[in-house]
Amino acid sequence: MDSLYDEIRIALHGIWLRRWLALAVAWGLCVFGWLVIALIPNTYQSEAKLLVNVNQLVPDQVSGANMDNKRQIDEVRQMLTSADALEKVVVATGIVAPDATDAQRAAAAAGLQKDIVVLASMDNVFQLTSKISVSSKSDAENARLAPRVLAELIAVARDSRSAGGRANARQSIDFLDAQLKERERALQDAEQKRIAFETQNVGMLPGAGSASQRMEMGRAEIRQLESQLVSARSALAAITGQLAGTPQTVAGGIGAVGGSVARQQLAAAQSDLASMQARGLTSAHPDVIATKAQIDTLRAQAAREGSGGGGGVSNPAYSSLQAMRAERQATVTALETRKSQIEGEISAMLSQRIQEPEVAAEYDRITREYSVLKTQYDTLLGQREQARLRGDLEIETSPVRIEIIDRPTQPKAPISPNRPLLLFGVLIVGIGGGIGAAFAQGQLQTSYATVDKLESASGLPVIGSITETLTAPLIEERKRKLKWLAGGSAGLVGLFAVLMVIEFVQRGIAA
């Protein structure tokens, strides 16, 4: 332990003997290091937060599918770091002159692109960070430039998005107009071809007004005729039965010799009853019941009066029933004739369709082609309307809105370098370097600080040692040199303190 203690004392003594070398080396290292630190430009950082809203008032159906919200948000993120946007920013903020060449703007934009970071904190919320360190500008200018870069970048992104959306809408409308004109010509050609084919093959084509539809209409009419025939035949049978039960003549009559009033009234009542039955009135009808009661009464009166004349006259009821029977028979005959005519037409059309099936197949092909073209035309027409509405929406309000949640912050101090820490580190390194230089020089010299060191190195016994004796002038000289050493050391520390004060003053001015 004593040996270690002695070694430390010897090392410190050797350094103290070379204290001027240590001070000179410390000054040299500190001044050089502080100059290097002074040349490092300060970097100022500004932050902002954006919200990207996607307006889905009018869906984008031009491409056949709805616009993906995430894709639009990713486009905004890419736009914020695109080279074109950054070139506009470096010109607007004065990083490069407005008359700079394309190469200069591209180089400045590439350097700025490395210092701008866009992070997505949520799906549609972005955190923007800009770090500005332009060597040609002062700290105050760099501090003001950091938030201005973000503000200009946001403005450029907004303008580019709006202009790009309107340009896309115009391009979509122009494209759809061209497609519509092409489809319209094709549709007109197909329509003319279909009309010509229909004119050439009238009566053999499927579809509206064609043989197929006419055959279906004919079958429906036949079913109606059959129902009407059943009713007409029933009415004819009823008239025939009534006619069979009605006498052709009656005794006496109006104007006949010996004819009584009761017989005349009886004949009239019978005629009325026949007319009622011909109209379809049943026996339960009140008029039929009353007429039958009147006939029974008149028949009894005529029987009591006896025969008033020797001849008979034609029965009016029989004549009326005959006329009605002839009418019903004509109706039945007309319905049967119409049914036969329609059945013949259906058979003829069916035979024609069987003989020429290729006509229907060709017409089906032409109709399908026309239907496809018509569907495409209607679809393109709807898409053009959607594109026009989207273009109007772009003019009134952009479908992608960029809103600022947190405005770009004004930096109060540079984020790098940490100059106070670096200045202090250089001071420590300078002091350590001076001490190390003095110690190294002491190790290189062949002098010995103690008797034991001399005996150990030479292997010979040391007879004695002479202690240093200081005279008054030597003591005064050493005191003066000690003051100079203290002043040099204090000057080094004082310079460090001045540099620290200057650093904080500059930060205050920049803020």
> Domain ranges in the chain?
2-39+417-442+468-510, 44-178+385-406, 211-364
**Predicted TM-score (pTM) of this structure:** 0.46
User: Which token pair is 279?
Assistant: 């109209």
pLDDT at position 446, please?
62
Q: Which of 233, 407, 244 is nearest to 336 (CA)?
A: 233
CB atoms within 10 A of CB 30: 24
Q: How far is residue 205's CA from residue 481's CA, in Å, rounded to a whole number?
A: 128
- Residue 448 carries which side chain, given as an amino acid letter? Y
Q: How far is residue 161's CA from residue 363's CA, in Å, rounded to a whole number?
A: 51
Report residue 175: phi and psi, to 5°. Answer: -60, -45
User: Which token pair is 234?
Assistant: 């029933």
Per-residue pLDDT of the chain (511 residues; tens, 9 = 90+): 556 776 777 778 778 888 898 999 999 999 999 999 988 888 888 999 988 877 655 444 444 334 456 777 777 888 888 888 888 888 888 888 888 888 888 888 888 888 888 888 777 888 989 888 887 787 788 888 889 999 888 888 877 766 555 555 566 677 777 777 887 788 788 888 777 776 666 555 544 455 566 677 888 888 898 888 888 888 888 888 777 777 776 655 444 433 456 677 777 777 777 777 767 677 777 777 878 887 887 788 777 765 544 445 667 777 777 778 888 888 888 888 888 888 887 777 766 655 456 666 676 677 778 788 888 878 878 877 776 666 665 545 555 678 888 899 988 888 888 889 999 999 999 999 999 998 888 777 666 666 676 667 677 777 777 776 777 888 888 888 889 989 999 999 999 999 999 888 877 765 5
As beta bridge partners, residue 131 has 45
Q: Which of 138, 144, 42, 131 is nearest to 93 (CA)?
A: 144
> Three-state SS for 101?
coil
Report residue 46: phi and psi, to 5°. Answer: -125, 145
Cis peptide before 59 (omega within 30 of 0): no
Residue 97 half-sphere exposure toward CB, CA atoms < 13 A: 4
Length of the chain: 511
pLDDT at position 356, please?
56
Q: Would strands 400-406 and 125-132 be described as parallel, antiparallel, or unpaired? A: unpaired
- Residue 239 carries which side chain, given as an amino acid letter? I
User: Which token pair is 214?
Assistant: 């006419």
As beta bridge partners, residue 313 has 250
Report residue 48: phi and psi, to 5°. Answer: -150, 160
pLDDT at position 243, please?
73
Let me know: does 54 contact 69? Beta carbons within 8 Å. Answer: yes
DSSP E strands: which ranges in 199-308? 249-251
Q: How far is residue 511's CA from residue 139's CA, in Å, rounded to a whole number?
A: 9
Let me know: does 314 contact 249? Beta carbons within 8 Å. Answer: yes
Let me know: does 402 contact 48? Beta carbons within 8 Å. Answer: no
Residue 308 half-sphere exposure toward CB, CA atoms < 13 A: 20
pLDDT at position 41, please?
82
Q: How far is residue 382's CA from residue 443's CA, in Å, rounded to a whole number?
A: 95
> Three-state SS for 411?
coil
pLDDT at position 259, please?
45
As beta bridge partners, residue 312 has 251, 252
Q: How far is residue 409's CA from residue 58's CA, in Å, rounded to a whole number?
A: 36
Q: What share of the chain is helix, strand, coil (3-state, %, to 5)?
A: 70, 10, 20
Let me know: does 472 contact 458? Beta carbons within 8 Å. Answer: no
User: Which token pair is 143?
Assistant: 């501090």
- State the DSSP H helix or E strand holding residue 197, giving kind and residue range, or none if neither: helix 139-200
CB atoms within 10 A of CB 105: 20
